[in-house]
Amino acid sequence: MSSFNQALTSTLGKKLIMALTGLFLCAFLIVHLIGNLQLFKDDAGKAFNDYAYFMTHFTPIKAVSYLLYASIIIHALYALILTVYNRKARPIGYASFAGDKNSTWSSRNMGILGTVLLVFIATHMANFWWKFHNDEVPYIEYRTDLNTLETQVTELNASEFTDYQNFTQDGQEVTRARDLYKQVAYAFQNPILVAFYVLAMAAMSFHLIHGFNSAFQSLGFNHRKYIPIVRFLALWVFGIIIPIAFAAMPLYFFFCK
């Protein structure tokens, strides 16, 4: 076995892979959140439907999406491998009180938190990604008067729709698209689904706070100059702002739509 392969298969190498895939997923969360904020625009979903089409048809984004799927699988797989390895290395375990003093609640329960997030990802993709890619969402047409900027919204039948269209006709901008916005609004009328999304975002908060800090430690960024910045980002950006923003979406549709 080469030294490179030995490095990757060592405990340190596994932690490095966990760190890199985890940070990539953190970066994706920021981009995904910015796009999903279009859900709050009062435009009958036009901005969000435009965003959904762009994300699924722009070639560089599509290429990155495959890297995203691979990162999720690799991150989860290596987390399982490291968990099994650590348990084999310490079959008896430490006394509970001694262990509690040296670790946080989230660090001791990363497996549970990660499992909740995996179930959430599967649920999320089944409700939105799968339906969008398999033509199981409604269709819609927006006609915006270029003089008054007033928009007329019309639901389309499947027989009237082929693919995303955007053109100008008789002084109007016409956009026809799959109405993923309506699918989101429909899905988030289910109180069980909304409650699960909020619970998953709470799990994501604890998972990211510990994971973001651990990733930089694995990469060697544990100098006292960088630790306060990393902890600030871990807590406020990934532990509070991002989970609350994502949790606000199902709550907004359930209570306000």
Read off the pLDDT of residues 82-119 as tens digits, 9 standing for 90 and up: 888 777 776 554 444 444 555 788 888 888 999 999 99
- What is the rounded average pLDDT of the residues 154-182? 88
Residues 27 and 151 placed together within one structural domain of the fold: no
Whether the model clears a pTM of 0.85, i.e. scores above it, the answer is: yes
User: Where in the sequence is the domain holding 19, given as residue range(s)?
Assistant: 3-135+181-256
Residues 161 and 42 placed together within one structural domain of the fold: no
- What is the rounded average pLDDT of the residues 240-245? 98
The number of folded domains in the chain is: 2
Task: Write down the pLDDT at residue 223.
Answer: 75
Mean predicted lDDT score pLDDT of the chain: 88
Q: Which long-range contacts (CB under 8 A, 24 or more apart) does 148-155 make?
A: 151/43, 151/44, 151/46, 153/44, 155/179
pLDDT tens for each residue of 9-47: 677 888 899 999 999 999 999 999 999 999 999 999 999
Please report, for residues 70, 113, 241, the alpha-carbon distance to residue 24 in angstroms, rounded to integers and kept in the order given: 11, 18, 18
Residues 110 and 215 placed together within one structural domain of the fold: yes
Residues 60 and 111 placed together within one structural domain of the fold: yes
Residues 18 and 72 placed together within one structural domain of the fold: yes
Residues 94 and 161 placed together within one structural domain of the fold: no
Residues 203 and 227 placed together within one structural domain of the fold: yes
In this structure, what CATH number is given to the domain that contains residue 195? 1.20.1300
Residues 82 and 38 placed together within one structural domain of the fold: yes
